[in-house]
Amino acid sequence: MMNLKNNKAAGTDGIHPELIKYRSNKLLHWIYEPVRQNWEEERIPEEWKETIIVPIYKKGDRDRC
Protein backbone atom coordinates (compact mmCIF):
# COMPACT_ATOMS: atom_id res chain seq x y z
CA MET A 1 0.00 0.00 0.00
CA MET A 2 2.89 2.35 0.66
CA ASN A 3 3.81 2.22 -3.06
CA LEU A 4 0.59 3.97 -4.09
CA LYS A 5 1.16 7.32 -5.77
CA ASN A 6 -0.27 10.53 -4.34
CA ASN A 7 -2.48 13.03 -6.21
CA LYS A 8 -4.21 10.39 -8.33
CA ALA A 9 -7.93 10.23 -9.03
CA ALA A 10 -10.19 7.98 -7.01
CA GLY A 11 -11.43 4.79 -8.60
CA THR A 12 -15.08 3.88 -9.13
CA ASP A 13 -15.28 3.15 -5.41
CA GLY A 14 -14.50 6.81 -4.67
CA ILE A 15 -11.47 5.95 -2.53
CA HIS A 16 -8.40 8.10 -3.12
CA PRO A 17 -4.93 6.48 -2.92
CA GLU A 18 -3.92 8.85 -0.09
CA LEU A 19 -6.76 7.53 2.07
CA ILE A 20 -5.56 3.98 1.60
CA LYS A 21 -1.94 4.92 2.10
CA TYR A 22 -2.23 7.01 5.25
CA ARG A 23 -5.25 5.43 6.93
CA SER A 24 -4.48 1.82 6.11
CA ASN A 25 -5.24 0.32 9.57
CA LYS A 26 -8.63 2.04 9.89
CA LEU A 27 -9.42 1.39 6.24
CA LEU A 28 -8.59 -2.30 6.53
CA HIS A 29 -10.92 -2.61 9.53
CA TRP A 30 -13.61 -0.64 7.65
CA ILE A 31 -13.31 -3.03 4.69
CA TYR A 32 -12.95 -6.18 6.80
CA GLU A 33 -16.20 -5.86 8.75
CA PRO A 34 -18.66 -5.88 5.81
CA VAL A 35 -16.68 -8.64 4.09
CA ARG A 36 -16.74 -10.74 7.27
CA GLN A 37 -20.47 -10.16 7.72
CA ASN A 38 -21.23 -11.08 4.11
CA TRP A 39 -19.09 -14.21 4.44
CA GLU A 40 -21.01 -15.32 7.51
CA GLU A 41 -24.39 -14.57 5.90
CA GLU A 42 -23.26 -16.16 2.61
CA ARG A 43 -24.54 -13.30 0.48
CA ILE A 44 -23.07 -10.85 -2.02
CA PRO A 45 -24.40 -7.27 -2.29
CA GLU A 46 -25.61 -6.29 -5.77
CA GLU A 47 -23.04 -3.45 -5.92
CA TRP A 48 -20.21 -5.99 -5.61
CA LYS A 49 -21.40 -7.71 -8.78
CA GLU A 50 -20.66 -4.61 -10.89
CA THR A 51 -17.60 -5.05 -13.08
CA ILE A 52 -15.47 -2.68 -15.11
CA ILE A 53 -13.22 -4.31 -17.70
CA VAL A 54 -10.11 -2.37 -18.67
CA PRO A 55 -7.99 -3.77 -21.49
CA ILE A 56 -4.28 -4.02 -20.77
CA TYR A 57 -2.32 -3.87 -23.99
CA LYS A 58 1.05 -5.41 -24.60
CA LYS A 59 3.67 -3.31 -26.32
CA GLY A 60 2.62 -2.83 -29.96
CA ASP A 61 -0.91 -4.31 -29.59
CA ARG A 62 -2.61 -0.92 -29.36
CA ASP A 63 -1.52 -0.07 -32.94
CA ARG A 64 -3.41 -3.09 -34.34
CA CYS A 65 -6.80 -2.21 -32.77
pTM of the model: 0.41
Domain ranges for the chain, please list them.
17-64
Please name the amino acid found at residue 13: D
Query: DSSP alpha helices (H): ranges in the chain?
Result: 17-22, 24-41
Over residues 20-24, the mean pLDDT reads 69
Q: What is the biggest distance separating any 2 CA atoms in the chain, rounded to whole angstroms?
A: 47
Q: For residue 15, what are the CA distances in angstroms to 3, 43, 62?
A: 16, 23, 29
pLDDT in tens, 37-61: 999 999 988 888 888 888 888 877 7
Residues 15, 31 contacting (CB under 8 angstroms)? no
